[in-house]
Amino acid sequence: MAYLARLSLSSHDKSKIVPSRHGQPPQPPSNRPKYHPVGVEAGCPAVGGARTDQPSQTYMASAAMLLAQVRACSLCAEHLPLGARPVLQLHSSARILIAGQAPGRKVHDSGVPFNDASGDRLRNWLGLSNEQFYNPKQVAILPMGFCYPGTGRSGDLPPRSECAPTWRAGLLAQLRMLRLTLVIGQYAIAYHLPHESGSLTEIVSNWRRYGPNVLPLPHPSPRNNIWLARNPWFEQELVPVLRQRVSVALQGDGT
Ligand code: SF4
């Protein structure tokens, strides 16, 4: 992140940045939201496509420019109760992608992704220290909506539907060294595993079918304590596999 923060962009550079708008807006949910991540399935490591051994300077600069543009985004600010404050973590060297839902209130206040009880549980599941988790050269964190969407009667509202079609394909295309994508919760599953139609429990319990580079996970929120209690196999069976895959993905990352 420090590398990215140090990059200064000329107005000429900024003028070349155009947010990716080639996805179709999500359709009204049947039982899960639908996304059409055009350009993501083919060749994107986020869904198991080919990766290169080293990110080029071009990719690093491109990632930095995109990140700067996302952080200046206010596309749907009028619908955000606390205004636009995109919270994400990205570097073109990242080995692991955490595809989550949207920041909660505490994360909005701090501007630090997963700086809450959900993050504590997630880091425990992954077997990562704070230092590793917040190293953008190791871990990219791209929720489906980058800004806090507000809270409804049964918890936080869904990620804003404008966000993923605008930004996601372009950001994912920067992750050329990705080895593992962790798909957290129904909204990220709808985007990254668009052909799945079962319940979250069915999809997570069928984790073996997605190969070694993608793992669907429940959201680590305390709101899911009941789900975790009803599905003890998750922490007994899948969390050890998750830790092993995270460890392998970060081996030899050179950071
Ligand atoms: S949620 Fe996404 S599209 Fe909306 S203002 Fe934030 S970054 Fe922009």
Residue 89 has pLDDT above 50, yes or no: yes
* Site to substitute for ligand 1 among 147, 148, 166, most atoms within 8 A of C-beta: 147
Q: What is the pLDDT of residues 41-74, one digit of tens each?
A: 334 445 444 444 555 666 667 888 999 999 999 9
**Residue carrying the six token digits 């539907």:** 161
Dist CA 77 CA 48 (whole Å): 33
Q: How far is the CA of 45 from the centre of ligand 1 (A)?
A: 24
For the chain, give the DSSP string.
-HHHHH----HHHHHT------SEEEEPPSSS-EEE-TTTTTT-GGGT----SS--HHHHHHHHHHHHHHHT--TTGGG-TT------B--TT-SEEEE-----HHHHHH--TT-SHHHHHHHHHHT--HHHHT-TTTEEE--SSSS---EETTEEPPPPTTHIIIIIHHHHTT-TT--EEEEEHHHHHHHHSTT--S-HHHHHHTGGGG-TTEEEE---SGGGHHHHHH-THIIIIIHHHHHHHHHHHHTT---
pTM, to two decimals: 0.80
Ligand 1 centroid distance, CA of 231 (Å): 34
- Residue that wins the pLDDT comparison between 21 and 156: 156
Q: Evaluate whether 82 touches 103 at the Cβ level (below 8 Å).
A: no
Which of 74, 161, 171 maximizes ligand 1 atoms within 8 Å of its Cβ, making it the mutation to test the pocket? 74
Q: Check residue 249 and give its pLDDT.
A: 97
pLDDT in tens, 211-254: 999 999 999 999 999 999 999 999 999 999 999 999 999 997 65
Residue with tokens 């991540």: 37
Q: Name the residue with the closest Cα to ligand 1, atom 5.
A: 74
Task: Check residue 141 and give its pLDDT.
Answer: 98
Is the pLDDT confidence value at 255 over 80?
Answer: no
Query: Which of 136, 132, 110 is CA-nearest to residue 2?
Result: 136
CA of 84 to the centre of ligand 1 (A): 6
pLDDT of residue 155: 85
> Quick one: what percent of the chain has pLDDT higher than 90?
71
Would you say 38 and 98 are in contact if contact means Cβ atoms under 8 Å apart?
no
> What residue has token string 């205004």?
83
What is the distance between the alpha carbons of residues 54 and 95, in angstroms, rounded to a whole number? Answer: 11
Cα of 211 vs centre of ligand 1, distance in Å, is 31
Nearest atom within ligand 1 for CA of residue 76 = 4
